[in-house]
Amino acid sequence: MGLSEEITMTTYEPDNDLRLDPRVRAILKLMPTGPGPTYTSRDQVLAAARTPEALAGAETTRQLVELCDTEDVVTSRGLELWAEKIESQPDGNIIHLQVVRPEGAKVLPCVYYIHGGGMASLSCTMGNYRAWAKILAHYGVCVVMVEFRNSMQPSSVEDIAPFPGVSTTASRG
């Protein structure tokens, strides 16, 4: 996509999605609707994502999704959870991972879980993704989640670059 092309955000209508659980639909209906903004450059997208209003909205989202990871939703009992950093080769980039697995040293199948966010936003450290990883790990697999590089909002990786997140993520690591 060239810089002269416009990037338009689309609006999601939960009432039109018959796949949704009614409880999820009710939560989604609380979120703002309407046409999204139009940007002509990544710099504009980054500036918009870092306004006080956008950062406050991101914090509200984080608080909401943290409610997904409680012992009542899915227990951590019998699981090991930790953060890992690895260096990619040959470029030497540091890749941040979250690992969730059943306790013990047994060799297990691995699920490489790429969380939502279009490789440009959100974080694998958020409660909804952590809960999902714990659910999967309870089925006897090791779950490895990668943190996105070049996210448009702060994540556990401080690595904003002038490239779209998906291109940098795919080419670097």
Can you spell out the DSSP letters for 33-65? -SPPPEESSHHHHHHHHTSHHHHHHHHHHHHHH
Cross-strand bridge partners of residue 24: none
Query: What pLDDT, on a 0 to 100 scale, did the predictor assign at position 159?
Result: 53
Q: What is the mean pLDDT of residues 7-12?
A: 61
On the 0-12 / 13-18 / 19+ scale of CB atoms within 10 A, 123 is: buried
* Percent over 90 (pLDDT), the chain: 27
- Which residues have CB under 8 Å from 172's CB, separation 6+? 88, 91, 93, 149
More confident site: 28 or 97: 97
* Overall domain count for the chain: 2
User: pLDDT of 30-46, one tens digit each?
Assistant: 776 667 778 888 788 88
Task: Give a yes or no: residue 29 inside a domain.
Answer: yes
> Are 38 and 107 members of one domain?
no
**12: which 2 tokens?**
């999601």
pTM for the model: 0.68
Residue 143: closest CA among 107, 105, 110: 110
Q: 2-6, 37-41, 100-104, 162-166: lowest mean pLDDT where?
A: 162-166
Residue 111 lies in domain? 79-172
Confidence grade of residue 135 (pLDDT, cut at 50, 70, 90): very high
| Cα gap 159→173, rounded to integer Å | 13
Measured at the CA of 165, the angle between CA 164 and CA 169, to 5 degrees, comes to 125
Per-residue pLDDT, 165: 41
Residue 71 belongs to a domain: no
Q: Does residue 155 sit in the same domain as residue 130?
A: yes
> Does residue 25 sit in the same domain as residue 85?
no
Average of per-residue pLDDT across 117-125: 72
What would the pLDDT profile of 78-106 be if each residue is shown by its tens digit?
Answer: 999 999 999 988 888 888 899 999 999 99
Separation CA 3–CA 10 (nearest Å): 19
pLDDT on residue 133: 94
Segment 126-144 shows an average pLDDT of 93
Residues 112, 130: Cα–Cα separation, whole Å: 13
Task: Say whether pLDDT at 1 is over 80.
Answer: no
Is residue 35 assigned to a domain? yes
Strand partners, 136: none
